Amino acid sequence: MLKTFSLPKTIIKIMKNRDEYTYINIPKLKTHSMAGVTLGLKNQWGFPEHKMRGIDHNFNLHSKIVDVYEYIQPDITIIDGIESTIHGHYPPTALVDKLVKKFNILIGGRDTVSVDVVGARIFGLTLDDVPHLKIANERGLGEGDLSKIKVIGKSLDEYKEKYPTDLLQEFPEDVKIIKGKELLCQQGCKNNPLATMQCFWLVNQGKGGFFIVMGKGFDDDLVEQLKNEGYTKGLVAGFCAIDEVGEKLREEFGKKNVFFSHNCNNLAETINALFKLMNVKALDVFPQAFQYGNYYIMQ
């Protein structure tokens, strides 16, 4: 198992002088369309350099989250559950009423695995629903058995509903989404482009009229299908799709009309492609990004 990461100097300093620092981890209570939940362990995924994360935004994501957690573990984790997000990732403002729930709770403890297990339970989720928590428990990095975790305060029996973690399936009808029949990793090539497209469409009035190809295993006549349906531009997300059909699509529709998002979806390349395909200006997105930060991180 490869556990090599490029980490910020600040994190390296803390790792080398661990006894001199108190590390307090404060995630939001959120489901996540790729990791199940994004709580204390998933919060660590922000440490590796961005360019190194793309290669593991696939079925390896859960084990990689735990790999990072093994390097540096918080002294205490406090989950802010005053408000939470379902249908994970981040909520476009147009969907806030559907996706943001008030729980009015804080969940804290020294064992981040235990804290996350309780946080997941608020959503009705178990270890089997959140693979990175199951992996962390199996590696002995914390207590994952809910029956062995002492919970003080509200009774978990109050939380009876199981909340969805995948994206709300609302996308532009005139975007043709082509999913590979052999392989399609929800942890990267599928949900990163779909979440970005959903946001640009609902919040920034982005246009459709293009295709997104993702995964592995496509019909031999894919190009002809797109031509017959009038599609001439689009995004090919991930190296599996690029290797299989990327050049065919560029030969037919031109390099300027067919964008590639490399590795297991390079988020920067995906965003840049969707800016152009959806006729959305980057500067129009910035106020929305700041609003996300203020509302969901700083509050």
Beta strands in 26-117 (DSSP E): 28-32, 36-37, 76-85, 100-109
**Collapsing DSSP states into helix, strand and coil, what is residue 143?**
coil
Q: Which of 45, 6, 9, 54 is nearest to 25 (CA)?
A: 45
Tens of pLDDT, residue by residue over 171-198, are: 999 999 999 999 999 998 999 999 999 9
DSSP state of 255: T
* Predicted local distance difference test score (pLDDT) of residue 287: 61
pLDDT of residue 176: 98
Residue 180: strand, helix, or coil: coil
Structure pTM?
Answer: 0.89
Count the neighbouring beta carbons within 10 Å of the beta carbon of residue 17: 9
Q: How far is CA 271 from the centre of its chain?
A: 14
Strand partners, 100: 85
Write out the chain's pLDDT in tens, 299 residues.
Answer: 456 778 889 889 989 999 999 999 999 999 999 999 999 999 999 898 877 777 788 889 999 999 999 988 999 999 999 999 999 888 888 999 999 999 999 999 999 999 999 999 999 999 999 999 999 999 999 999 999 999 999 999 999 999 999 999 999 999 999 999 999 999 989 999 999 999 999 999 999 999 999 999 999 999 999 999 999 999 999 999 999 999 999 999 999 999 999 999 898 999 999 999 999 998 888 765 544 443 333 33
The predicted pLDDT at position 169 comes to: 95
- Provide the pLDDT for residue 285: 81
Residue 293: other Cβ atoms inside 10 A: 11
